[in-house]
C-alpha cells in the first residue's frame, strides 16, 4: 500500500512572510501610483486570511474595486512573488529538505497541495531543488471549486491513496485531511490559529517532529 504525505506550501514548508510584505507593498504601491489606493498596505488583513484562494484575497483587500482592478493587481502580485523567490528573498522553514529526504527514504510518496498559483509553486520547488523528493505539486487552479478538500481528493483518486497524512497550518488543510479520511497534522507556525489547530489529529511546533508521529502512528489504520 502506498504511503503518502500531502504538504501545504505557504506557512508549512515555505516561509511566506519573507516575501509576502515586500510583494504586497509593491502591488499596493502600484495601486497608489495609479490613484487606486490611499493609505498603508493592508498587510495585517492579509495575514488574517492567509491560506485562502487568491480571488478571495482580493475580494477582501479590495472590496470596493472593480473586478478588472483586482485581476490586474493579482497578476502583478504573482509576478512580484515569483521574482522575489528567484532573487533569493524567500526561505524555507528549518529542516525542510532534510525532512523530505528522510520521508522519501522511509518510503513515503510526497505531494504538495496548495492554494498558491502554479507559477508561484513552481518557482519555490525549482529554486530550492525540491523536485528530488516531491512526486507532484498541485495548485488550487487544478480544481474548479477552488476547495482544498477537493484538491486533496483529486490527489487521493489519481494516486489511489488509501491512507496517509495532510500537513498544513490552516483549517482548510485539516478539513481536507478529514474529508478524505487522512490524518491531519497541524503546524503551529507563523499564520496558524490555535482555534483551527485544535481540530487536527496532531499539532507540531517544528517539522522535525513529523517522523516521531509517523513512528508512533501507523499509516494503515
Pair 142, 183 in one domain: yes
> Would you give the end-to-end CA distance of the chain in angstroms?
12
Residue 221 lies in a domain: no
Residue 107 lies in a domain: yes
Pair 103, 133 in one domain: yes
Q: What is the pTM of this model?
A: 0.89
Pair 151, 122 in one domain: yes
DSSP 74-140: HHHHHHHHHHHHHTT---BPTTHHHHHHHHHHTTEEEEEEESS-HHHHHHHHHHTTGGGTEEEEEEG
CA atoms within a 13 Å half-sphere pointing along the CA-CB vector of 210: 31
Pair 98, 207 in one domain: yes
**200-216 pLDDT per residue, tens:** 999 999 999 999 999 88
Phi then psi for residue 51, to 5 deg, are 110, -15
Pair 115, 159 in one domain: yes
pLDDT score, position 220: 44
Pair 72, 103 in one domain: no
pLDDT score, position 218: 56
Look at the chain and report how many structural domains it folds into.
2
pLDDT-derived band at 67 (thresholds 50, 70, 90) equals: very high
Residue 161 lies in a domain: yes
Tell me the residue range of the domain where 162 lies.
Answer: 3-15+91-216
Pair 209, 106 in one domain: yes
| CATH number of residue 175's parent domain | 3.40.50.1000
Provide mean pLDDT across the span 30-48. 93
Pair 199, 111 in one domain: yes
Pair 109, 197 in one domain: yes
Which of 86, 107, 142 terminates a domain? The answer is 86
Cα-atom radius of gyration of the chain, to the nearest Å?
17
Which of 54, 71, 86 terminates a domain? The answer is 86
pLDDT score, position 107: 92
- Measured between alpha carbons, how far is 193 from 190 in angstroms, rounded to an integer? 9
Pair 150, 172 in one domain: yes
Amino acid at each position: 500500500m502506498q504511503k503518502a504525505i500531502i504538504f501545504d506550501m505557504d506557512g508549512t514548508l515555505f516561509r511566506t512572510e519573507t516575501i509576502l510584505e515586500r510583494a504586497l507593498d509593491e502591488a499596493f504601491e502600484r495601486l497608489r501610483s495609479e490613484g487606486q489606493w490611499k493609505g498603508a498596505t493592508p498587510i495585517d488583513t492579509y495575514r488574517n486570511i492567509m491560506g485562502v484562494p487568491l480571488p478571495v484575497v482580493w475580494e477582501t483587500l479590495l472590496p470596493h474595486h472593480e473586478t478588472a482592478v483586482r485581476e490586474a493587481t493579482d497578476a502583478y502580485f504573482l509576478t512580484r512573488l515569483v521574482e522575489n523567490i528567484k532573487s533569493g528573498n524567500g526561505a524555507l522553514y528549518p529542516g525542510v529538505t532534510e525532512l523530505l529526504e528522510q520521508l522519501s527514504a522511509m518510503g513515503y510518496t510526497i505531494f504538495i497541495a496548495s492554494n498558491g498559483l502554479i507559477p508561484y509553486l513552481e518557482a519555490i520547488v525549482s529554486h530550492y531543488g525540491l523536485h528530488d523528493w516531491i512526486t507532484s505539486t498541485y495548485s488550487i487552479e487544478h480544481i474548479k471549486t477552488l476547495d482544498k478538500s477537493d484538491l486533496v481528493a483529486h490527489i487521493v483518486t489519481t494516486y489511489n491513496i488509501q491512507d496517509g497524512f495532510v500537513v498544513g497550518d490552516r483549517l482548510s488543510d485539516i478539513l481536507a485531511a478529514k474529508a478524505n479520511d487522512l490524518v491531519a497534522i497541524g503546524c503551529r507556525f507563523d499564520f496558524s490559529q490555535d482555534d483551527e489547530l485544535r481540530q487536527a489529529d496532531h499539532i507540531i511546533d517544528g517539522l522535525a517532529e513529523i517522523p516521531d508521529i509517523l513512528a508512533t502512528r501507523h499509516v494503515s489504520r
